[in-house]
């Protein structure tokens, strides 16, 4: 009998920034629900945590929180525990979600389930729902992501094609995945009717062919693969006293950005948000959803009554600049967001300098004196939609006075280990206690940043080159590998200058890099 869930293959362990407590809190406040306090101890649990990279990174970013990760794969838990050795506020539990004993676990402020809900049996889904009902505290928030209908209806036959073709083939799961992919390619190339009649299915296969084999094994070769309509999940959550908060990414909560203009008048007649989301799924043909719910909500507030919900949030940016114009794609339409006018321009300029709460921003910026606080908050939210500004959990570290020679440090041991292994990934996420999330760096930035800590400035690029060479890594420009040492050194020097002049200061402000003032030589 085929096991419910694959354990022979390690699911690729990545960091997912949409699972952070501050973002879940922000979405709750945006829709008028009370966020959980992050200024004191709180409890967070990820069900189906895989290799634990998200849970570990969040634990590193929130030393005041207590984090738990649960997964049934022994290799996942062993890997997660290796990283957790650098932290003192996280536990990993090896357990099947269908038999998980929550009696020894605390009540949770946050529970997250990413993808797993669609990959397990009905009995295990029922156990997940029971766990949420028993262990999520009143006012607690959950994130649940799942394969969604109607968009996944296109994918179901593709999965069936692979399973049907490989059902009689001997070999391990990777062999079956590779054979299944070869079969899909064969059907597409020879214009099987399913693909000629459904051109989007062929596009979906092209997307599948680009994915990691180990990911595809988990996505398509588990015993269960169940997509859900939004309403099915919403009704299940409502039965355990959970109220729908919203969906991620943040811009997906705004009709004018997610619904084509021809449908907006119709959607404005929806009696409530549940009905709206139910119909939006068909207009957008959703294949995947990331939904957020809150327990035992007494109701949401609107207008100026929302202002107290944002008291604990700081708002800032990880970027060195804030764009004045943003273009978002809404189906075949383009949505233009402009931040040129007031109060947006003043807000963007001020928050670029350092994160502030709504109250601090209004009290320190004379240009905002004539704007109601609600209008300032709405302008901040619009900047968040465009990704130029985001919610933080605290203010930034202050840079030492200009002119002092700085000694750089990596205050968080977890971040140091990530940097020491950064040549293994194209992107890494370093834990920021200021953002309350992971901050993305590419491979070159990570190597150069570690070099700045470890080596004198004039040795950093050569050291980075040697690390790349030892790891057998090549860098690309316009899709072509750089083989020449001189060209690679020139690129590293260029990137080091950018890091020093732009990104480094921001990484210090975000608490990722520490500084001390060295005695002048």
424-452 pLDDT tens trace: 778 999 999 999 999 999 999 999 999 99
Confidence of residue 231 (pLDDT cuts 50, 70, 90): very high
Measured between alpha carbons, how far is 313 from 292 in angstroms, rounded to an integer? 19
Does pLDDT of 504 surpass 70?
yes
Measured between alpha carbons, how far is 337 from 318 in angstroms, rounded to an integer? 19
Peptide bond into 380 cis (omega under 30): no
| Bridging pattern class, strands 325-330 and 333-338 | antiparallel
Measured between alpha carbons, how far is 510 from 316 in angstroms, rounded to an integer? 10
Q: What is the pLDDT of residue 397?
A: 67
Confidence of residue 375 (pLDDT cuts 50, 70, 90): very high
Confidence of residue 405 (pLDDT cuts 50, 70, 90): low
Tokens 């990959």 map to which residue? Answer: 119
pLDDT 10s digits, 278-336: 999 999 999 999 999 999 988 899 989 999 999 999 999 998 889 999 999 888 888 89
Confidence of residue 7 (pLDDT cuts 50, 70, 90): confident
Measured between alpha carbons, how far is 354 from 509 in angstroms, rounded to an integer? 8
What integer is the mean pLDDT of 461-489?
83
What integer is the mean pLDDT of 58-64?
98
CB 291 within 8 A of CB 244: yes
Tokens 């006293």 map to which residue? Answer: 241
Does pLDDT of 98 surpass 70?
yes
Claim: this prediction has a pTM higher than 0.85: yes
Q: What is the pLDDT of residue 29?
A: 97
Q: What is the pLDDT of residue 484?
A: 81
Measured between alpha carbons, how far is 125 from 146 in angstroms, rounded to an integer? 12
- 3-state DSSP helix/strand/coil percent for the chain, to nearest 5? 45, 20, 35
Beta strands in 261-300 (DSSP E): 288-295
- Mean pLDDT over each residue of the chain, to the nearest integer: 92
* Best CA proximity match to 386, nearest among 351, 335, 425: 335
| CATH architecture assigned to 17-149+227-295 | 3-Layer(aba) Sandwich (3.40)
Longest dimension (CA), the chain: 75
3-state class (DSSP) for residue 11: coil
Measured between alpha carbons, how far is 205 from 159 in angstroms, rounded to an integer? 10
Q: What is the pLDDT of residue 332?
A: 84
Dihedral angle over CA of 201, 204, 205, 206, nearest 10: 130
Q: What is the pLDDT of residue 518?
A: 57
* Best CA proximity match to 435, nearest among 506, 493, 504, 488: 506
What integer is the mean pLDDT of 438-467?
94
DSSP 322: -
């Amino acid at each position: 009998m085929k096991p419910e869930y694959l354990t022979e293959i390690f699911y690729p362990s990545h960091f997912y920034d949409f699972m952070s407590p501050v973002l879940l809190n922000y979405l709750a406040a945006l829709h008028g629900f009370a966020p959980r306090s992050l200024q004191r101890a709180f409890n967070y649990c990820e069900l189906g945590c895989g290799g634990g990279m998200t849970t570990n990174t969040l634990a590193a970013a929130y030393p005041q929180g207590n984090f738990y990760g649960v997964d049934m794969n022994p290799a996942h838990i062993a890997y997660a525990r290796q990283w957790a050795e650098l932290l003192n506020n996280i536990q990993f539990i090896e357990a099947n979600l269908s038999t998980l004993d929550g009696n020894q676990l605390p009540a949770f402020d946050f529970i997250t389930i990413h993808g797993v809900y669609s990959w397990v049996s009905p009995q295990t889904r029922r156990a997940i729902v029971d766990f949420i009902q028993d262990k999520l505290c009143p006012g607690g928030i959950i994130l649940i992501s799942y394969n969604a209908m109607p968009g996944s209806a296109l994918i179901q036959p593709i999965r069936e094609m692979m399973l049907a073709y490989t059902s009689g083939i001997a070999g391990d799961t990777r062999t079956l995945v590779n054979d299944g992919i070869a079969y899909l390619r064969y059907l597409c190339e020879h214009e099987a009717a399913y693909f000629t009649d459904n051109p989007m299915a062929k596009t979906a296969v092209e997307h599948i062919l680009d994915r990691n084999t180990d990911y595809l094994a988990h996505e398509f070769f588990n015993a269960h693969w169940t997509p859900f309509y939004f309403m099915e999940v919403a009704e299940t959550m409502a039965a355990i006293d959970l109220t729908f908060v919203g969906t991620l990414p943040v811009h997906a909560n705004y009709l004018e950005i997610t619904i084509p203009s021809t449908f907006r008048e119709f959607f404005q007649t929806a009696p409530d948000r549940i009905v709206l989301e139910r119909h939006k799924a068909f207009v957008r043909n959703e294949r995947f959803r990331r939904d957020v719910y809150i327990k035992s909500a007494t109701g949401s507030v609107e207008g100026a009554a929302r202002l107290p919900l944002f008291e604990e949030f700081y708002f800032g940016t990880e970027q060195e600049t804030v764009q004045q114009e943003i273009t978002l794609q809404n189906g075949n339409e383009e949505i233009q967001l402009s931040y040129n006018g007031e109060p947006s321009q003043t807000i963007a300029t001020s928050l670029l300098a350092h994160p502030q709460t709504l109250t601090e921003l209004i009290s320190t910026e004379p240009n905002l004196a004539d704007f109601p606080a609600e209008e300032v908050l709405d302008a901040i939210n619009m900047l968040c939609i465009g990704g130029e500004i985001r919610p933080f959990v605290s203010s930034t570290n202050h840079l030492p006075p200009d002119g002092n020679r700085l000694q750089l440090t990596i205050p968080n041991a977890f971040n140091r280990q990530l940097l020491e292994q950064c040549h293994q990934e194209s992107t890494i996420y370093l834990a920021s206690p200021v953002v309350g999330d992971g901050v993305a760096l590419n491979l070159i930035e990570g190597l150069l940043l570690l070099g700045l800590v470890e080596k004198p400035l004039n040795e950093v690029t050569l050291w980075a080159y040697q690390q790349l060479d030892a790891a057998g890594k090549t860098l690309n420009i316009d899709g072509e590998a750089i083989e020449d040492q001189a060209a690679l050194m020139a690129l590293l020097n260029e990137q080091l200058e950018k890091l020093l002049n732009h990104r480094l200061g921001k990484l210090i402000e975000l608490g990722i890099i520490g500084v001390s003032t060295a005695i002048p030589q």
